[in-house]
A = this chain, B = another copy of it.
Amino acid sequence: MPLKTVTIVGVGLIGGSFALALRKAGFEGRIVGVSRPATIAEAMELGVIDEGAPLEEALPASDLIYLAQPILRILEQLPEVARLARPGSLVTDAGSTKKAIVERAEELFAGSEARFLGGHPMAGKEGRGVAIAEAELLRGAVYAITPDARHAGDERVDELVGWLRRIGCKPLAMTPDEHDRVTAMTSHVPQMVSTALAAAVWESLENPTQLQVAGGGLRDMTRLAGSSYEIWEGILKTNAAAISEGLRRVAAELERLGKDPEDPAVAERFAVAQTLHKKIRQS
């Protein structure tokens, strides 16, 4: 059953970019947006969506429901989404953590004839909002999805994956648990480390002019520190254990590195770190 109507709930950077990419890849059906009225007006003017509608109208009429709000908002609204999604439809999300959302969805969709599939496009850029959405944002990005045995052979899932490929994503199946453990280390912990470094540097300065005596390294290492708590709140609250564990690992490394520069362990840790550096540049 080909998609005819897609609803984007939360028409921001990710939701808007998915809509634009879908259209660019040849999707000919309707794209409906659910967002605040000002956002709907802006998204229609930008050609991101065809029309806006309230959740209660949009969802029962959709083949694919794409949840692109902040994590905590998705969790809050999920019971209503499960109630409104029509039999045969597929609901997916773009939240940055997967365990909390997928576990909640499993409960809520247990008796439903709608299907839920967790997803997470590994793409983004600085800023937010539909104004900076772009059709090419997701091109080349790994797109984590979390299917399990119940999704096997489900043609709704196959169709979504087909569209993900057509818009240039690389779908990658993993469990919610693996997703959250890996992204803790590759994304959430780096954010916290940048924030920790920036806060420590700021409070160590006797006066801000001392920042003149800094190179490009500090600039790189504190780029992420520009992010606000509001952006990260949902991630921190839904992946706390894995992030906490990752931060303990980094703190243990800092202790090893700071103890004694003559200790051979220091040179050894530099070598391990260089291995990761090289792997990232190869990938």
Copies of this chain present in the complex amount to 2
B261 touches A240 (CB 8 A): yes
B270 touches A258 (CB 8 A): no
Central interface residue in A223, A224, A272, A276, by most chain B CB within 10 Å:
A276
Central interface residue in A190, A192, A201, A220, by most chain B CB within 10 Å:
A201
Report whether over half of chain A's contact residues are helix, strand or loop; otherwise say mixed.
Answer: helix
Q: Which residues of B contact A275 (CB under 8 A)?
A: 202
Interface residue? A37 (CB, 8 A)? no
Interface 0/1 of A207-229, CB less than 8 Å to B: 01011111101111111111111
A255 to B186, CA, bound (A): 19
**Given that A211-B283, A283-B211 are known contacts, is A273 also in contact with B237, CB under 8 Å in the complex?**
no
B-contacting residues of A (Cβ < 8 Å)?
122-124, 142, 144, 170, 172, 174, 179, 182-183, 185-187, 189-205, 208, 210-215, 217-229, 232-233, 236-237, 240, 243-244, 246-255, 257-262, 266-267, 269-281, 283
